[in-house]
Chain A
Amino acid sequence: MIEGIEITKSYTIDGRALPVLKPINLKIEPGEFVALQGKSGSGKTSLLSILGGLDRPTSGKVLLNSREIQNLPEEGLVDIRRHLMGFVFQSYHLIPTLNALENILVPAKLAGQENAKERAIALLKETGIFERRFHFPSQLSGGEQQRVSICRALVNSPKIVFADEPTGNLDTKSGAEILQILRGLKGSRSLLVVTHDFEIAAQADRVLEIVDGCLVSR
């Protein structure tokens, strides 16, 4: 499904190259749930953003369905983001002027899907926030916002979902609920979750850890 080959990433600070990722090889199969762990600053998010086409590696390749995507221009990534990928963020990143339902419908509308409302409503019901569909982000709790964010990631039925610390801003109860939902995502859909949460990692098919920029299986 998605494969990283010899991926490296380094940042230049004061003229000096600071390596974040040393050559990394990684393959995620369809329907696989992979948890990515590591200390703060270890490079977890960098790897996730490279695999998700949000950032470019310093060297190496990213293959999505056998197609190289690391050098695609932004416009070239538009179709991939619309149909193949979904993202869930720690800070939810909902649009404050749109209500929950409208936020979920944004990717569908951008992809030109006019009849996505039913799918959005189904997702709202599935995640238990149907009653809150007309509320604005500021009127929702953190857990509810994250559910909306997950629904938004799923509305176009992507093949892989990238989640960055999805429970990082949530209390234990809300975190458990989100975990429940993530677990339900499994099937033909792949899932790459960056997390410190051992509960989430325990549910994953595979747990990877980044140590000093290198990938270690656990």
Chain B
Amino acid sequence: MIIQIALKELWNGRKHLWMPGLAFLLGIAGVFFLWALEFRISSGLESEGRSMLGGDIEISHTEPLSESVVSDAFQITPKSTQSVSLIELNTMAQPTKGGMTQLVKLTAFEGPLPLYGHYEISPVGSFVDLNSEKPKIFVSIDLSKMLELEVGEGLTLGATSFLIAGIIVKSPEGIAGRFNLAPTVWIHQRHLEKTRLIERPGRVSYSQILAWPETRSVDARVIAAHLLEKFSDKNIRVKSFNNSERAFQRIFDQIERFASLVAFFSILVAALAILSALQNWLRDRRYFVALLKASGASEIQIRAILLVACLSFAAIVSIAGILAGTALDLLILPRIKELVNLSFNSSLPLSIYAMCFALGIAVVSIFSLISFRGYSEYRPIILLRDVQATSSVLKSNRLTKFVFFILAFLVSSLILIHEGLYSEFSIDSQTRQSSLFLFDVGEDEKAKIDSVVGGVPKAEVRWTPWVRLRLLRINGKPLEMDLNNVRRTETEFLVTDFLTPPPQEKVTDGELWSKAYESGVVEVSVARDYAKARGINLSDELDFELFGVPIKSKVTSLRAIRWTDFQPSFRFAFQGGVFALAPYSYLAGILTPTDDLRLQIKSILAAKLPSVSVLDVSDIKAELVRLMDKISYALNLILGFFIFVSLAILAALAREKSLRRTTEFAILRCVGASKRQLMRILALEFVQLSAWPLLIGTLCGGLLGTYLLQRYLLIPGIHWNYSFFAVPFVFGITAILTGLIFASSLTKVSPKLLFADH
């Protein structure tokens, strides 16, 4: 009986509920879509990471790995674990037929490559083919295009010429693959020694990739952590596949955080629409409630009827929202796939469906309970004499003002966050930046490079010294490993020292040193995002070790870094001059005024310094610009979605507000109000209701947005601009227009409804 009455009442109130219901449906659809996106990106990154690493974990060192290290690893990995040994280095390659040289990443392997991931080789072949007496090589398609190489031709690496046995058309490189520093070539290790390229050990990486059957539920991060603890040589690095896409994890993290905020805000504003709708629905049910009370219904029975009606509404809207979210997901998925270049699981876990459903039910239940607070006013006396109390109208106006405030508050804060992210992901094309990089330059090569660059007009070289340090303790406590946080598993860092930071860095907390290091505790500046992930604060004491020499330092500043500038930046930067006596290596960044001069310098350097790796980042930057454009598009899409939901809610509110005025408009009509006057009355009412809440909401939203940008997304700066200040106007005008559009039906209200018979 209770259910029957509840459902009938719900059906009777559909006129007032469909539009807020639609707004809430959009909210649920948005949350579903954003959660699905979050799941797909993280699972996509995971599977991509495994393919990229080629296994589950990688053990690496700058020196050959000893037998004991490999056997230690096999002791704690699952049975039937397989391994591949890799030796990698950057070198210059030249076709044997002559022509230009090119920096390549040489991968020499031994073992059943690949353990994970798929390589498409043309003509069809496998890596086993390279294990032959005659030196054979596979080259990436990029290199074959750059040097116009074909299968059957020769390629010289160091002192040996290789026969090109195949071209790798496709390899599991993931999103980071687009930004590889150099195209890759593959040879078998049996031919490496003959090339004589491993005579400079500092530039060679030795690694062992281990993989176990995918069905094993073994956490690679746990194995990696155990191995790190077990190895006595602390220069050995171990990483799990989860770290592979690290370079882009930060960007995805920020987008995910933005998406989570939008999801949260969407459901919040949708809930406000529900609150408003339920209050009005309940007001419509006042005679019904009074009648039930007069007929002897208990409080519990009345609450049960109302609650059943609300829960039925919640269930219908949540299911419809999930279906709409699924449709949205299917519709946008191909574009997202194209955007992030990740392979996505086609199916979503049931938990996302369940969570969205539970969220819908929970939000409606909570807000219906809030609405129910007012139902005790509906006493049976109103059946005899009903005058709508002034206070109830004012209460309804207060709720409308509150909703206006919240909408402006949330939208303006999201716009601000969007602006911050937008500027973070936009590439600075105005500032003159280095496009050629030379890594690991020794003191002996420095002067030669200076003279090459000095001979080219308007070209300039910027030197960045670096050393490799090990972080031992923070505030006297040994580092704690957090396997869930990639950044908390690292101990070894490349660091630099300077007197003033490069242009892409900005000190946001504390104060940077004003003079070079003389004696005592060394001042250190930490990248702000890393400091937050690691829990490092200003004034913390950090103990480092440089080739066995302890270095005591104190954090005096935090720096925000624009990583997307693709300029050399470091997590730890020390007071200038502190490494004066340390064995420096240099990173040279060369600025050139034109593309022609860049290519000219590149070829001179290749000829004069064949052993130095030259990296041309102009193509990578162009690719990065394209990717960032797509990310900005995704941000616009997410923000656009939220604004759409907000406007839908605003429309629902304005419509609801207008519909409430039927009797009043009939009275006004009856006493001679023209259509124009009615419109003007409604418009003025919306202006009066929305002006202050929108203005105050926008300003408060600005403060929240700035706070979230700086503390949650770690993006410095003030991003208030015209689009932010447009919020109250756009929302105000939308409210008025929507109100007027829906109110046009009010002007057709027949005054005859005022007669008692009607």
Which residues of A are in contact with B by a Cβ distance under 8 Å? 41, 45-46, 48-49, 54-55, 74-75, 78-79, 81-83, 87, 89-91, 93-97, 106-107, 110-111, 136-138, 142, 145, 152, 156, 164-165, 168-169
B667/A95 in contact, CB under 8 A: yes
Which residues from B are CB-within-8-Å of A96? 387-390, 392-393
Name the distance in Å between A218's Cβ and chain B's nearest Cβ. 21
Whether, in the assembled complex, B234 has its beta carbon less than 8 Å from a beta carbon of chain A, the answer is no
Name the distance in Å between A90's Cβ and chain B's nearest Cβ. 4
Whether, in the assembled complex, B385 has its beta carbon less than 8 Å from a beta carbon of chain A, the answer is yes
B756/A54 in contact, CB under 8 A: no
Q: Please name 14 pairs of A and B residues whose Cβ atoms are closer than 8 Å in the assembled complex, sorted by A.
A: A48-B755, A74-B669, A74-B747, A81-B670, A82-B671, A82-B672, A87-B670, A90-B756, A96-B388, A97-B394, A106-B667, A110-B671, A138-B388, A168-B756
B672/A45 in contact, CB under 8 A: no
How far apart are the CA atoms of A211 and B436 in the complex, in Å?
102
Quick check: which of B183-191, B628-636, B673-681, B719-727 contacts chain A, the rest being far away? B673-681
Known contacts A96-B387, A110-B672; is-contact A54 B752 (Cβ 8 Å)? yes
How far apart are the CA atoms of A94 and B387 in the complex, in Å?
9
- Contact partner of B389 (CB less than 8 A), chosen from A41, A90, A110, A138, is A138
Name the distance in Å between B683's Cβ and chain A's nearest Cβ. 16
How far apart are the CA atoms of A106 and B665 in the complex, in Å?
12
Whether, in the assembled complex, B249 has its beta carbon less than 8 Å from a beta carbon of chain A, the answer is no
Closest to A107 in B: B671
A49/B752 in contact, CB under 8 A: yes
B385/A54 in contact, CB under 8 A: no
A74/B748 in contact, CB under 8 A: yes
A107/B672 in contact, CB under 8 A: yes
- List B residues 498-518 near A (Cβ within 8 Å): none
Which residues from B are CB-within-8-Å of A97? 390, 393-394
B754/A91 in contact, CB under 8 A: yes
- List B residues 627-665 near A (Cβ within 8 Å): 663-664
B672/A156 in contact, CB under 8 A: yes
Name the distance in Å between B727's Cβ and chain A's nearest Cβ. 29
B675/A74 in contact, CB under 8 A: yes
Which residues from A are CB-within-8-Å of B390? 96-97, 136-138
Name the distance in Å between B400's Cβ and chain A's nearest Cβ. 13
- Contact partner of B673 (CB less than 8 A), chosen from A48, A78, A164, A169, is A78
A78/B755 in contact, CB under 8 A: no
How far apart are the CA atoms of A46 and B758 in the complex, in Å?
10
Whether, in the assembled complex, B751 has its beta carbon less than 8 Å from a beta carbon of chain A, the answer is yes
How far apart are the CA atoms of A90 and B390 in the complex, in Å?
20
Name the distance in Å between A158's Cβ and chain B's nearest Cβ. 10
How far apart are the CA atoms of A136 and B393 in the complex, in Å?
12
Whether, in the assembled complex, B148 has its beta carbon less than 8 Å from a beta carbon of chain A, the answer is no
B672/A78 in contact, CB under 8 A: yes
How far apart are the CA atoms of A152 and B754 in the complex, in Å?
15
A89/B672 in contact, CB under 8 A: no
Known contacts A96-B393, A138-B387, A138-B389; is-contact A55 B668 (Cβ 8 Å)? no
Whether, in the assembled complex, B596 has its beta carbon less than 8 Å from a beta carbon of chain A, the answer is no
Which residues from A are CB-within-8-Å of B298? none
Known contacts A49-B752, A110-B672; is-contact A145 B387 (Cβ 8 Å)? yes
Which residues from A are CB-within-8-Å of B670? 54, 81, 87, 93
Task: Please list the 10 inter-chain residue pairs (A to B) with the smallest Cβ-Cβ separation, ordered nearest first.
Answer: A82-B672, A107-B671, A81-B672, A90-B756, A45-B757, A54-B752, A136-B390, A138-B389, A49-B752, A96-B388
Point out which of A81, A94, A137 has the most chain B C-beta atoms below 10 A from its C-beta: A81
Whether, in the assembled complex, B750 has its beta carbon less than 8 Å from a beta carbon of chain A, the answer is yes
A169/B385 in contact, CB under 8 A: yes
B387/A106 in contact, CB under 8 A: no
How far apart are the CA atoms of A91 and B384 in the complex, in Å?
11
How far apart are the CA atoms of A218 and B387 in the complex, in Å?
36
Which residues from B are CB-within-8-Å of A78? 672-674
A110/B677 in contact, CB under 8 A: yes
How far apart are the CA atoms of A78 and B673 in the complex, in Å?
6
Give B289-305 as 1s and 0s: 1 = Cβ < 8 Å from A's Cβ atoms: 00000000000000000
How far apart are the CA atoms of A78 and B747 in the complex, in Å?
12
Point out which of B388, B750, B752 has the most chain A C-beta atoms below 10 A from its C-beta: B752
B755/A89 in contact, CB under 8 A: yes
- Contact partner of B385 (CB less than 8 A), chosen from A75, A111, A142, is A142
How far apart are the CA atoms of A46 and B393 in the complex, in Å?
31
How far apart are the CA atoms of A111 and B754 in the complex, in Å?
21
Give B363-390 as 1s and 0s: 1 = Cβ < 8 Å from A's Cβ atoms: 0000000000000000000000101111
A45/B671 in contact, CB under 8 A: no
B675/A45 in contact, CB under 8 A: no
Closest to A80 in B: B672
Which residues from A are CB-within-8-Å of B671? 81-82, 87, 106-107, 110, 152
Name the distance in Å between A197's Cβ and chain B's nearest Cβ. 14
Give B729-758 as 1s and 0s: 1 = Cβ < 8 Å from A's Cβ atoms: 000000000000000000110111011111
Which residues from B are CB-within-8-Å of A41? 757
- Contact partner of A110 (CB less than 8 A), chosen from B666, B668, B754, is B668
Closest to B675 in A: A75
How far apart are the CA atoms of A96 and B397 in the complex, in Å?
13
Closest to A103 in B: B667
Closest to B753 in A: A54
Known contacts A96-B389, A97-B393; is-contact A164 B672 (Cβ 8 Å)? no
B388/A89 in contact, CB under 8 A: no
Name the distance in Å between B154's Cβ and chain A's nearest Cβ. 91
Closest to A111 in B: B672
Known contacts A74-B669, A107-B672; is-contact A93 B663 (Cβ 8 Å)? yes
Closest to B676 in A: A75
Closest to B674 in A: A78
How far apart are the CA atoms of A74 and B671 in the complex, in Å?
12
Name the distance in Å between A100's Cβ and chain B's nearest Cβ. 12
Which residues from A are CB-within-8-Å of B394? 97
Which residues from B are CB-within-8-Å of A55? 750, 752
Known contacts A75-B674, A145-B387; is-contact A89 B756 (Cβ 8 Å)? yes
Name the distance in Å between B677's Cβ and chain A's nearest Cβ. 6
Point out which of A74, A136, A145 has the most chain B C-beta atoms below 10 A from its C-beta: A74
